[in-house]
Each structure stands twice: as C-alpha cells, then as structure tokens.
Amino acid sequence: MTSPPPPDRPPFRAPASPAQPGVGGRFGRGAKPPPEGSPPSKKRFGAVVHALGEVDSTQAVARALADDRAPEGTVVTAEHQRAGRGRGGRSWLDRPGEALLCSVVLRPAIDAAEVPQLALLAAVAVAEAVEALTGLAPGIKWPNDLVVEDRKLAGILAEAATDSRAVTRVILGMGINVSQREFPVDLAARATSLALLTGREVDRGALLDGLLTRLEHWYDIYLDHGFKPIHAEWCRRTVTLGRTVVAGGAQGTAVGLDHDGALLVRDAAHRTHRVVAGEVLDAPGG
C-alpha cells in the first residue's frame, strides 16, 4: 500500500511545509490571486490549507493545529497517510496520490451528543461535491458512508474534544477514493473510486474546492437552523431507508432517521429501535 503514484499522474499539490500553510485560496492548482481592489473572500473553509505530503493522519495534524488555536475552517490535506484512521477504531488505507484525504477544524457550539450530525452533514456535502464534478449521485449509507452500486466511495470521521458536555472543537475527516484502478483483494468487492466509476481521472483539487464550498454551505445552515434542513437532504440521498438491516443489536427494516440523526429500525414485532452509533449490515436474506 505504499508504492509511489504512477509518473503520469499530476501531483495533487506541491506539499507545503507544515509551518507554511497556503493562505487565502482553497487550493493551489489554477488558483489566481483576486483582482486588485476586489472585496476579501468571506470563505472560512479552506482560507488556510495545510497541503502536506506524508503524515500519520490528517486528523492528528488538524487536531494539533486546533489545539494551537487554528481558526475554524482550517484544512489539512495529505498525499498519503501512514496511519489513516477510520470509524470504530479501524484503519483507513491509501496509496500515495490516489485519494482525497482531508480534515477540517470546526468549532460549533453544540453538545457532544450532536457531533454525529456533523458527519451526516459532511456526507451530504461529499455527495453533492462528487455529483457536481462527475455527474455520479452517490448514496449515503447510514450513518455517513458514501456508496455507489453498494461499494464504498468515501468515508467520514468526526472526532470531537469536549469540556464536560460542550464541544470545544471537532475535526471532520473525509477520505474519498479518487484515482484507484484496483484495491487490495480484501477490499476489492466493497470499494470503488471515481476513476473506476467514470473511467477518467478526476482532479482532486477541484473536488476539494467543491467539497469545501458545500461543507461550508451546510455548516452555516446547521449553525443557523439546526439539523432539520440537513435531515431532509440526508433522507433524500440515503440508500439505507427501506432496507432490511442489522444495526446496533436490532434487526428489521430501516424506517427513518430520527430528528437527531439516530437510525430508526422497526423489527418483526413492530417495535422501533433507535440506533445511535455503529454500522448497518444487510440482514441475512434481507
């Protein structure tokens, strides 16, 4: 999993030194300075981008920056992670240059119990960014996996620090499979990439740009109006509702997303279970 990217692939972005983040632009590629006299950009997400080469995890870099008072919207990207983290303590593997790996610093005034809503929000943003760039319409598998034809295209990890129940910062990590033409044998049946789905190379810089735009859009709505508008959009894009699933110890039909992001599963005895965390598996014979 550590072979170098093929020589014909353009670099994601010249890795900047961690001490010298790109400031003022979403991403280096194709970015032009604004014309003189134009109003300053109000964009917070990606106003500061730390575009790095190889790191343990962009989550760890972003957390250290956040602990050092990095502003909300600070972004960390990497070409490769030596120890990428997935949900549930799993690892997230990549080969250099093949995935969009990024973490964003957020400082919402929410309770710890609401943090999963940010991952649901991010799933909507990733789906929209992918759709805008490729025409694909990824589905959201509860809680926040992006899938196409039942194969995972992207994953999201929200990690929070709290002061008793209040959140002091959230690091929102997103990994999108972009250029992979093949996967390790144990993942091959379950994973996909934009290159496999579209048959072409997709520009990671443009994808990051679109992702940050949609993320900021939904985040601002979330801060102003709460989870309800995101709930509606998540439900429109999910592939989980209506399926027969096993989740959080319950087996039955996924019938809804609760107001707070919990999955509602109705069992054979018509009891409804709230599942607040975990994975959804297709039920045997479902």
Rama region for 21: left / alpha / beta (φ>0; ψ in -120 to 50; rest)? beta
Please, which residue, 76 or 262, has the CB nearer to ligand BTN? 76
Nearest to 105 by CA among 158, 164, 165: 158
* φ, ψ for residue 61, nearest 5 deg: -65, -45
Q: Is 261 in the site for ligand BTN (CB under 6 A)?
A: no
- C-beta of 220: minimal distance to ligand BTN in Å? 22
Reading the block at residue 90, the tokens are 């799993």
Q: How many helices (H) and strands (E) does the chain have?
A: 5, 13
User: What are 171's strand-pairing partners?
Assistant: 105, 159
Chosen residue from 48, 50, 103, 151 binding ligand BTN by CB under 6 A: 103
Q: Are 116 and 180 in contact (CB under 8 A)?
A: no
Paired strand residues for 106: 170
In the window 38-67, what residues touch ligand BTN (CB under 6 A)?
57-59
103 vs 253 by CB, closer to ligand BTN: 103
ω into 18 cis (within 30 of 0):
no
Binding-site member from 12, 45, 92, 227 for ligand BTN (CB under 6 A): 92
116 is a contact residue toward ligand BTN (CB under 6 A)? no
Q: Which two tokens stand for residue 76?
A: 């960390």
The neighbour count for residue 45, using CB atoms within 10 Å, is: 24
Among 13, 87, 214, 231, binds ligand BTN (CB under 6 A): 87
Looking at beta carbons only, is 98 or 145 nearer to ligand BTN? 145
In this complex, which beta carbon is closest to ligand BTN, that of residue 110 or of residue 191?
Answer: 191
Q: Does 190 bind ligand BTN (CB under 6 A)?
A: no
Q: Would you count residue 119 as binding ligand BTN (CB under 6 A)?
A: no
Q: DSSP secondary structure string, 29-97?
A: TT--PPPTTPPPP---TTSEEEEEEEES-HHHHHHHHHHTTPPTT-EEEEEEESS-B-GGG-B----TT
Q: Which residue is nearest to ligand BTN (CB)?
A: 155
Q: How far is the CB of 14 from ligand BTN (least distance, A)?
A: 20
* Contact range with ligand BTN by CB under 6 A, out of 149-157, 200-208, 211-219, 265-273: 149-157
Under the criterion CB under 6 A, does residue 155 sit at the interface with ligand BTN?
yes
Q: Candidates 10-18, 170-178, 205-213, 230-238: pick the segment binding ligand BTN (CB under 6 A).
A: 170-178
| Closer Cβ to ligand BTN, 252 or 280, answer by number | 280
9 in Cβ contact with 97 (< 8 Å): yes
Chosen residue from 15, 24, 53, 86 binding ligand BTN by CB under 6 A: 86
List the structure tokens of 45.
Answer: 């997400």
- Applying CB under 6 A, the site for ligand BTN has a residue count of 20
85 binds ligand BTN (CB under 6 A): yes
Residues in contact with ligand BTN by CB under 6 A are 57-59, 81, 84-87, 90, 92, 101-103, 145, 155-157, 173-175
